[in-house]
Homo-oligomer: A and B are copies of this chain.
């Protein structure tokens, strides 16, 4: 029996729910990504709000349907807001996603904060292969915020990270989602080689996972966000092959994606442990 069919059904349902519910997603994100993340969430049907100061963080997390924390270009005030919001999210059972951009021994300030944030039990931790391998305890030399490793090679190392989160998602040419619930890995194919050549696509994916967490369970949410991105990337490339136009087409595809397109183009498989 095809084990992906029931998952695909749930992805389609989650996509419909996201559009219908327009969940409020608090994003504490970086200066490069802020505008783009907001536009991606709006295109996908969510309602983003970039509340990232420590004076309003607690109140705002309490009324949010999900929280996305991204460590791309942290400031001292944002760091304080991250701690408060992550703590509040755990207390108030608001699902939240941690994106430890640039994790590794070079960027120690954010890496120490990432380690601290783990205590608040993120629903999902997502990142590229270098970041996830580093977070799993390996010595990694990333290239700034871009990965020097292949997602297919490191996803096994990331099993230990399921102590900290329900899902671990590693993006790359193929994306790998480790699910505690399923005790399995889901490999998501598709997307487009141009996605990493547009800045902040990974950051936006993290926020989209959070948005989906507001309307479905964590594993389906993580999978749905990755499939949404992969199919939209594939469709966008059909209309645009250079980065400027591709990015416009990608936002268009995120917006106009239909249940039929998800069903037709979704490409993922389950790897049992």
Task: Report chain B residues within 8 Å CB of A256.
Answer: 242
Contact B199 A106 (CB under 8 A): no
Question: How many copies of the shown chain assemble into the complex?
Answer: 3
Which of B42, B50, B72, B73 interacts with A73 by CB under 8 Å?
B50
Once bound together, how far apart are the Cα atoms of A102 and B60, in whole Å? 11
Q: Which residues of B contact A43 (CB under 8 A)?
A: 197, 243-244
Chain B residues, CB < 8 A from A38: 32, 199-200
Q: Is A20 an interface residue (CB 8 A)?
A: no
Tell yes or no: A24 within 8 A of B by CB.
yes
Partner of A144, one of B47, B52, B244, B245: B47
A75 and B53 within 8 A (CB): yes
20 residue pairs A–B, Cβ–Cβ below 8 Å: A30-B50, A31-B35, A35-B36, A39-B198, A39-B199, A42-B198, A53-B74, A56-B110, A60-B106, A60-B107, A64-B144, A75-B77, A243-B252, A243-B255, A244-B250, A244-B251, A244-B252, A247-B248, A247-B251, A248-B248
